[in-house]
Chains A and B, each alone.
Chain A
Amino acid sequence: MNEIGELCILLSLGISIYSAIVPIIGVKRGREEYIVSAENSIFVIAGLIVISSSILTYAFVNRDFSIEYVANYSNRDLPLFYTLSAFWAGQKGSLLFWSLLLSLFAVVVVIQNKNKNRDFMPYVISIISVTQCLFLVLMTFAERPFELIYPPEDGSGLNPMLQNPGMVFHPPTLYMGYVGFTIPYAFAMASLLTGHLGNVWIKTTRRWTIFSWFFLSMGNLFGAWWAYRVLGWGGYWAWDPVENASFMPWLTGTAYLHSVMIQERRDMLKVWNMVLIVLTFSLTIFGTFLTRSGVIQSVHSFGQGPVGYYFLVFLIIIILFSSYLIINNISILKSNNELDSIISRESSFLFNNLILVGAAFATFWGTMFPLISEAIKGEKVTVGPPFFNQVNIPIGLALLLLVGICPLIAWKKASISNFKRNFLIPFIVSIIGGIALMPIGVGHLMAWLSFTISIFVITTIVMEVYKGTRARMETTGEGFLKALITLIRRNKRRYGGYIIHIGVVLMYIGITGTSYNVEKEATLNKGEAMTIGDYKLIYRGLNLKEPVPTKAEAIAAIDVEKNGKNIVTALPRKDFYKTSEQPISRVYNLSGLKEDLYIILAGFPIPFEKDSPATFKVHVNPLVKWLWIGGLVIGVGTFIAMLPDWKGKR
Chain B
Amino acid sequence: MRGKRQETNKSMQYEVGSRQWAVVGVFLFFLLVTGHWSLVTVSAVTIDEKYKPVFDELSDKFMCLCGCGSTVKTCPHEDCGFAIPLKKELIEKIQKGETREQIINYFVGKHGQQILSAPPKKGFNLTAWITPFAAIIVVGLLMKKIIDKWTTRQKTEDRSQKTEGVEDKYKKMLKKELEEFE
Chain A contacts to B: CB under 8 angstroms:
63, 76, 153-154, 231-235, 238, 240-241, 297-299, 337-342, 347, 350-351, 354-355, 358, 361-362, 365-366, 369, 373, 376-377, 379-387, 390-391, 394-395, 490-491, 521-523, 544, 546, 549-550, 552, 574, 576, 578, 581, 583, 585, 600, 602-608, 615-617
Contacts and interface: CB of A to CB of B under 8 A. Distances in A.
Contacts of B79: 603
Interface residues of B, number: 69
Nearest to B36: A606
A522 B13 CA distance: 45
B78 A585 contact: yes
Nearest to B139: A354
Contact of B61 (A358, A381, A386, A600): A386
A391 B46 contact: no
Contacts of A585: 78
B41 A603 contact: yes
B143 interface: yes
Interface residues of chain B: helix, strand, loop or mixed (majority): helix
Contact of B116 (A381, A550, A605): A381
19 contacts: A153-B12, A153-B16, A153-B19, A240-B69, A338-B153, A338-B154, A342-B151, A347-B147, A351-B140, A361-B135, A365-B128, A382-B63, A382-B113, A395-B132, A549-B21, A549-B23, A552-B28, A606-B40, A607-B33
A299 B128 CA distance: 25
B143 A549 contact: no
A358 B139 contact: yes
A63 B133 CA distance: 54
Nearest to A578: B27
B57 to A, nearest CB: 10
A606 B136 CA distance: 55
A417 B148 CA distance: 21
Interface in B17-69: 19-21, 23-24, 27-28, 31-38, 40-46, 60-61, 63, 67-69
B41 A358 contact: no
B69 A391 contact: no
Instruction: Name the 3 nearest CB pairs between A and B, nearest first.
Output: A603-B42, A362-B132, A384-B117
Contact of A550 (B27, B38, B45): B27
Given A377-B124, A576-B37, A391 B129 contact: yes
Given A382-B114, A382-B115, A342 B74 contact: no
Contacts, number: 199
Contacts of A552: 27-28, 31
Given A340-B151, A521-B45, A365 B131 contact: yes
Interface in B128-181: 128-129, 131-133, 135-136, 139-140, 143-144, 146-148, 150-151, 153-154, 157
B124 A358 contact: no
A520 to B, nearest CB: 8
Given A387-B118, A549-B21, A552-B27, A607 B32 contact: yes
A63 B12 CA distance: 12
Contacts of A382: 63, 113-119
A333 to B, nearest CB: 16
Interface of B: 12-13, 15-16, 19-21, 23-24, 27-28, 31-38, 40-46, 60-61, 63, 67-71, 74-76, 78-79, 112-119, 124-125, 128-129, 131-133, 135-136, 139-140, 143-144, 146-148, 150-151, 153-154, 157, 182
A372 B44 CA distance: 39
A381 B119 contact: yes
B61 to A, nearest CB: 7
Given A385-B71, A390-B118, A380 B124 contact: no
Contact of B119 (A231, A351, A387): A387
A55 to B, nearest CB: 14
B70 A354 contact: no
